């Protein structure tokens, strides 16, 4: 667990350092401030309201101990094991097996699962999946993803400013136009790569944390293999229409691509996740 947090901290520090370098090269202090304020404002709104927006987007319906007793009580038992407040529980009427957690902190959290995953998985496997989602809540991964998204967005904004207004105003930056153009083109790509790497690291952390909450690493490993196998053949239309939400799912609902695409993936390779979980058994 410490290793995942250390890697996350290094990556977050890296994207902040990249912001400083790009800001100095393209916008100076004033440009950095404008980009950070714009990116921060947008992501602050997302941080506070994204749970409501994404649940509405997926037409999720809230359930309780009366309307979905087995599922609700499973989440309740796992939340108690994780020493978390009881999150709101939702079901999404979609055939693709998948699940996600959202909410700005443990006191305002929600977990959601598709009707497809409820039918596909055994009770043991479903416990593993929901424990994974509760681990995201416990680790405050929504906050971490918001920080990295803010800085990545600010870097992209600075690059756009540089293209429109010609970059920094000091003589040194004007004397290296080729280098400045290179920064404009490569900085947003580098920021995206770091952001995706943070996301993959947090998935590993949630796998381990979920295995510890459920006490059954093999259950989550079995569930991941089964979910990926079925998800490849069953589309999730909302994720296709809103691909930015794909990073929230336990398995990327927009599967496909080779090794190059893996650099831009929000999720680690399922086989590697399974290998690490099996090593915990």
Catalytic residues: 133
Task: Give the ranges where the chain is alpha helix by DSSP (H).
Answer: 2-22, 28-57, 69-81, 115-120, 123-138, 141-165, 171-174, 177-214, 217-231, 237-241, 259-263, 270-279
Q: What's the chain's length in residues?
A: 281
Whether the Cβ atoms of residue 149 and residue 247 lie closer than 8 Å to each other: no
Cα–Cα distance for residue pair 180/22, rounded to 1 Å = 9
Strand pairing class (99-102; 88-92):
unpaired
Cα–Cα distance for residue pair 242/136, rounded to 1 Å = 21
Cα–Cα distance for residue pair 145/248, rounded to 1 Å = 10
Cα–Cα distance for residue pair 85/107, rounded to 1 Å = 6
Query: Facing residues of 62 across strands?
Result: 90
Q: How many CB atoms lie within 10 A of CB 99?
A: 25
Whether the Cβ atoms of residue 204 and residue 136 lie closer than 8 Å to each other: no
Give the sheet arrangement for strand 88-92, strand by strand. Answer: 61-63, 88-92, 110-114, 99-102
């Amino acid at each position: 667990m410490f290793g995942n947090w250390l890697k996350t901290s290094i990556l977050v520090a890296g994207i902040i350092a990249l912001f400083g370098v790009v800001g100095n090269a393209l916008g100076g202090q004033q440009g950095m401030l404008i980009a950070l304020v714009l990116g921060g404002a947008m992501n602050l709104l997302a941080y506070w309201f994204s749970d409501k927006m994404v649940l509405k987007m997926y037409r999720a319906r809230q359930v309780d101990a009366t309307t979905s007793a087995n599922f609700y009580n499973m989440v309740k038992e796992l939340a108690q094991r994780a020493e978390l407040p009881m999150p709101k529980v939702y079901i999404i009427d979609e055939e693709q097996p998948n699940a996600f957690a959202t909410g700005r902190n443990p006191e305002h959290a929600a977990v959601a699962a598709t009707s497809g995953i409820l039918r596909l998985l055994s009770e043991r496997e479903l416990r593993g999946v929901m424990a994974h989602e509760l681990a995201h809540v416990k680790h405050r991964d929504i906050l971490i993803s918001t920080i990295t998204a803010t800085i990545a967005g600010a870097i992209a904004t600075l690059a756009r400013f540089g293209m429109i207004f010609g970059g920094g105003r000091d003589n040194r930056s004007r004397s290296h136009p080729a280098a400045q153009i290179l920064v404009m083109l490569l900085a947003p790509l580098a920021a995206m790569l770091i952001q995706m790497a943070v996301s993959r690291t947090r998935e590993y952390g949630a796998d381990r944390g979920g295995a510890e909450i459920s006490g059954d690493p093999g259950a989550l490993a079995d569930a991941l293999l089964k979910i990926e196998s079925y998800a490849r053949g069953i589309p999730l239309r909302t994720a296709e229409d809103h691909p930015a939400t794909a990073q929230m799912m336990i398995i990327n609902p927009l599967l496909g691509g080779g090794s190059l695409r893996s650099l831009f993936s929000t999720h680690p390779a399922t086989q590697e996740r399974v290998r690490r979980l099996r090593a915990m058994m």
